[in-house]
Structure 1
Amino acid sequence: MKTAGCLPQTRIHYALILGCLSALGPLYTDLYLPALPQITHDFLTTSSATQLSLTATLIGLGLGQLIFGPLSDRLGRRPPLLISLLILVVASWTCYFAVNVEQLILARFIQGVMGSGGVVISRAIARDKYQSSALTQFFALLMMINGIAPIIAPVVGGILLTWLNWRDIFMVLGIASSLLLIFSHFQISETLPKPLRHKGSFISVFGQLGNLVLQRRFIGLCLTQGFILAGMFAYIGASSFVLQEHYHLSAQLYSLCFAANGLGLIIAAQISARLAKRWGELVVLKGVLILAITSAALLVVIGFIDASLWLLLPILFITISVNSMIGTTGTMLAMQEVPAQSGGSASALLGACMFVLGGISAPLSGLGGSSTAAMAITIFGCYAIAFIIFTCLIGWREPIPPVDECIKQ
């Protein structure tokens, strides 16, 4: 099928395009984080109510992937992608004109649903193009590019708040969505040919989701990543209040701290790719899970003793950075469990687990207001559940079959 534009041939150029699409999630969640206290003040509401706008986005990002993933298996990758980006532009400007927190929450939910198109389809396109270790290397490259968003987004948000107000952040998102729509129209071609698309009805296409849920290794990897990322979103939802209100950092200094953790995500992704090449993805995943729950436990101790900022930040850095290591290895292992024609559905379930669980954990961490302990307990709880799920559904001795065997199954 001929489409507008053509796919770039170099892996880095290709990863840059997909990275921009997959970065829609962190971009739409992180850019306005420094403005959460300002939004709370302007709408005369509570911090928990304001955090519901973050929750709405995360849940939208999760549920939307369950729609766009199967649709991309049936219709191809390109049409659902362009439709999602078009509506995303409208939703972004709706946030700009919101007159109360309820309207903002609704518009943010729509933003999340439509932003999920780029997130889920970018992973499906990667699955179309790469397999095995090449897929791991590509996901690591994608994670590196994707990691730029958490670094830049809060810094840009803090700068915008210095000169403008929180509404202008959504104006920037509206402009960015418009540019991404134009760019995708001319640069993204179809990667799932008609012979490889799901041939059944739309009902049967969505029925693939049920079949994937019954695959023990796949759903185990999905839930493991989902709860680990839920821990990170607990940090995202509470960190602006903890660091700005409890530790009295300015919006700009908070943005720099947040950016440092984003840099950790990039570095960790590249380390995991190198380690996986030598030891294998499953070995790396197991080791990082142990590191994750250990660092989260230390974070709880720091929260209860109300330690200084200089003790909190390095432990928090490790606790958050492990997300990209688990994401890189876990995503590759999960995606190799399914054939290409189910790549969109598999990507959808991965994303749904991550963002829906993240949407639930974010307001939980906010119940403690600016309490460091509340944030730390929520993160540790999410990591502990991930550890238990991995132990029960994957195990510490069971190997993951090679990709060819998985596809035959």
Structure 2
Amino acid sequence: MNRVYLYLVMAASVSALATDMIVPALPDLQKVFQVDYSLIQLSVSGFLIIYAISQLCVGFVSERLGKIKTITAGFIVFSAGSLLCYMAENIYLLMAGRFIQAVGAGAGPVLSRAIAKDSFPAESLKKALSDISSASAIVPLLAPLAGGAMLGYVSWNYIFLTMFIFGIITVILAPKSLPGSGEKPEEYNGSFMTTEFFSGTALVSLILSSLFCFITLTPVIFIENLKFTPFQYSLVFSLSVLFFIAGNQASKLNAFTNPFLLFGINALSLVPLIIGNPDPVLYLLSAIVFNFTLGAYYPVAHFTALQIKGNKTGVASSLTGFTQTVCAGVISYCVTKSTSLGIGFEKVMGLSGLSLAILSLLVVSYLRRAKCRTGKETKLRNL
């Protein structure tokens, strides 16, 4: 079981590793290949586009090949792309390698949650999803530091060699079989989608959108408006990530999973930004509480999205992963564009976060009412 746990955590971490470890090397890549920086930036943004499409496809592929075989194939493709990037002598080979990496990276994060659903009983699943979410969050914190540290001793292409080694190790760790959860899903030939699936997917998408807005807007808020140095902001960001991870772990306790309490506190944490009181301490506390509350419900939202009919967990997780990635990208882009209206970055962050929290509460309320209706109908049928 420990090997399966480690395997799932590594599989879930691959996309964050591939996108964040390369960030410190972007200026070096521009100098080496002598191209416009926007083309170098495409190695990150283009990766994310292909990655989102890959997420959509892997669930359907796993229905034919099986989840372990699909993840293994994905990591072989990812490793091949990493090796091509390591050997790249021009920008075109590097871009080709990045796109190949993106194709392979989609399987790990999506199917790791589906495998957890198939492998762990309900009481252990939330804990597994909390740890998978924590791993996905801590990699963006450590990967840029690791990449930057490597550049002090070796050239940029060794970053991709590290990704290649990571991919190969994950393939080696792949279990030949999975432990059963002890809960056999009933055979179901109709649509696997349920109210829980739609609600959970919506909640996951709204939470990730809030996080993307935070990542996009807070550098300007802290560096430009509060006059933090980039290093000071990096400490704020690191602290925020740590509290998001703390929220992931707190979700293992039932006391920290009340959605009305969590999203209510999340909304209140944005009041200083909406008011526009430029107090560094208040803004720091706002960032901490904001990320903790989102982190505490993120694994629960994924757990809800996996409550489907039948056993198509791979397809369900694939659709959820694709939806959350696209929604987060589109919403954060629109929110960022709205700053051109002259409202101010603080108020845009506060109002967008508040709107997403209210929408989350509406989804939770809808899910509660739907469950109550289903419960009443079941009781009537049993009379």
TM-score (norm 1): 0.73
Mapped to 2, the partners of 1:219 and 1:377 lie a distance apart of 28
Checking the alignment, whether the CA contact within 8 Å between 1:299 and 1:312 is kept in structure 2 is: yes
Mapped to 2, the partners of 1:23 and 1:249 lie a distance apart of 29
Checking the alignment, whether the CA contact within 8 Å between 2:263 and 2:360 is kept in structure 1 is: no
Once the two structures are superposed, residues 274-296 of structure 1 have per-residue CA deviations (whole angstroms, 9 ceiling, x without a partner) of 1x2x58x5xx2332222333334
Of 257, 268, 271, the match for 2:247: 268
Relative to structure 1, is the Cα distance of residues 36 and 250 closer, same or farther in structure 2, using a 3 angstrom cutoff?
farther
Paired amino acid for 1:344: G
> What is the 5 A alignment of 1:227-306?
227-237=206-216, 247=227, 249-250=229-230, 255-274=234-253, 276=254, 278=255, 281=257, 284-296=258-270, 298-299=272-273, 301=275
| Larger RCO, structure (CA 8 Å, separation 6 or more) | 1
3-state SS, counterpart of residue 23 of structure 1: helix
What is the percent sequence identity of the aligned residues? 22
Relative to structure 1, is the Cα distance of residues 316 and 393 closer, same or farther in structure 2, using a 3 angstrom cutoff?
closer
* Residues 1:219 and 2:209 are matched in the alignment: no
> What is the 5 A alignment of 1:387-398?
387-388=358-359, 391=362, 394-395=365-366, 397-398=368-369
Relative to structure 1, is the Cα distance of residues 382 and 37 closer, same or farther in structure 2, using a 3 angstrom cutoff?
farther
Residue ranges of structure 2 left out of the alignment (5+ in a row) = 379-383
Checking the alignment, whether the CA contact within 8 Å between 1:65 and 1:348 is kept in structure 2 is: yes
Cα RMSD, aligned residues only: 4.2
Aligned to 2:81: 91
Relative to structure 1, is the Cα distance of residues 362 and 178 closer, same or farther in structure 2, using a 3 angstrom cutoff?
farther
Aligned to 2:122: 132
Note the C-alpha offset of 1:87.
0.8
Note the C-alpha offset of 1:272.
1.8
Checking the alignment, whether the CA contact within 8 Å between 2:195 and 2:370 is kept in structure 1 is: no
Once the two structures are superposed, residues 133-169 of structure 1 have per-residue CA deviations (whole angstroms, 9 ceiling, x without a partner) of 3211222233344443233223223323445565543
> What is the 5 A alignment of 1:53-202?
53-96=43-86, 97=88, 99-100=90-91, 107-163=97-153, 167-184=157-174, 187-190=175-178
Paired amino acid for 1:325: A
TM-score (norm 2): 0.77
Relative to structure 1, is the Cα distance of residues 192 and 383 closer, same or farther in structure 2, using a 3 angstrom cutoff?
farther
Mapped to 1, the partners of 2:195 and 2:138 lie a distance apart of 33
Mapped to 2, the partners of 1:98 and 1:231 lie a distance apart of 39
Aligned to 2:291: 320
Note the C-alpha offset of 1:117.
0.7
Of 337, 347, 350, the match for 2:308: 337
Relative to structure 1, is the Cα distance of residues 292 and 161 closer, same or farther in structure 2, using a 3 angstrom cutoff?
farther
Checking the alignment, whether the CA contact within 8 Å between 2:201 and 2:323 is kept in structure 1 is: yes
Checking the alignment, whether the CA contact within 8 Å between 2:80 and 2:100 is kept in structure 1 is: no
3-state SS, counterpart of residue 336 of structure 1: coil
> What is the 5 A alignment of 1:26-37?
26-35=16-25
Once the two structures are superposed, residues 370-394 of structure 1 have per-residue CA deviations (whole angstroms, 9 ceiling, x without a partner) of x995487368536624632651575
Note the C-alpha offset of 1:126.
0.6
Larger radius of gyration: 2
Mapped to 1, the partners of 2:274 and 2:72 lie a distance apart of 43
3-state SS, counterpart of residue 18 of structure 2: helix
Paired amino acid for 1:292: N
Mapped to 2, the partners of 1:379 and 1:36 lie a distance apart of 31
Relative to structure 1, is the Cα distance of residues 138 and 31 closer, same or farther in structure 2, using a 3 angstrom cutoff?
same
Note the C-alpha offset of 1:16.
2.2
Note the C-alpha offset of 1:53.
4.2
Relative to structure 1, is the Cα distance of residues 173 and 148 closer, same or farther in structure 2, using a 3 angstrom cutoff?
same
Note the C-alpha offset of 1:312.
3.4
Note the C-alpha offset of 1:57.
3.2
Checking the alignment, whether the CA contact within 8 Å between 2:12 and 2:110 is kept in structure 1 is: yes
Aligned to 2:381: none
Mapped to 2, the partners of 1:33 and 1:238 lie a distance apart of 18
Checking the alignment, whether the CA contact within 8 Å between 1:65 and 1:120 is kept in structure 2 is: yes
Note the C-alpha offset of 1:223.
1.8
Of 18, 23, 31, the match for 2:8: 18
Note the C-alpha offset of 1:127.
0.7
Checking the alignment, whether the CA contact within 8 Å between 2:194 and 2:309 is kept in structure 1 is: no
Residue ranges of structure 1 left out of the alignment (5+ in a row) = 1-8
Note the C-alpha offset of 1:177.
2.0
Relative to structure 1, is the Cα distance of residues 33 and 398 closer, same or farther in structure 2, using a 3 angstrom cutoff?
farther
Paired amino acid for 2:284: L
